Amino acid sequence: MTTKELINIEIEKLSEDELKKVYGVVRSLAESKGNERRPSFMSRLKCIQIEAPEDFATNLTLYVSGEKRVQRRDRRRYRPTVRISL
C-alpha cells in the first residue's frame, strides 16, 4: 500500500471535527511548501568574487588574447580567476 492509501484509511476513521483539524494541518503544510524561495538571480550575482589586477575590466581583451600578462610577486605567472560561491 502507498502512503496515500494508508492516510485515506486512517482519515475514514476520523470524526468531522478531527477532519477539520487535519485539513488545517495539511493546508498549512501546503502553504509553507510554496513559501520556500530560491535565492534571486541578483543575490547570486553578489556572491561572485573576481581576483584580478585593478585594470582587468579596462584591459579585458588584452588579458584574454594574452597580449597583457600579470606577474605575481613571486615571479610566477598569474591568471585572473573568478570565484562563485552559491
Q: Note the pLDDT tens digit of each residue in 5-62.
A: 998 899 999 999 999 999 999 888 888 776 667 778 888 888 888 777 888 888 888 8
The pLDDT tens digits of the residues spanning 73-82 come to 655 555 656 6
The Cα 48–Cα 82 span in angstroms is: 7
pTM of the model: 0.37
Among candidate residues 46, 66, 42, 43, the one with its CA nearest the CA of residue 80: 66
What pLDDT score was predicted for residue 84?
A: 63
What pLDDT score was predicted for residue 72?
A: 61
Q: What are phi and psi of 48, to 5 degrees?
A: -75, 130
HSE (side-chain half, CA atoms, 13 Å) at 45:
3
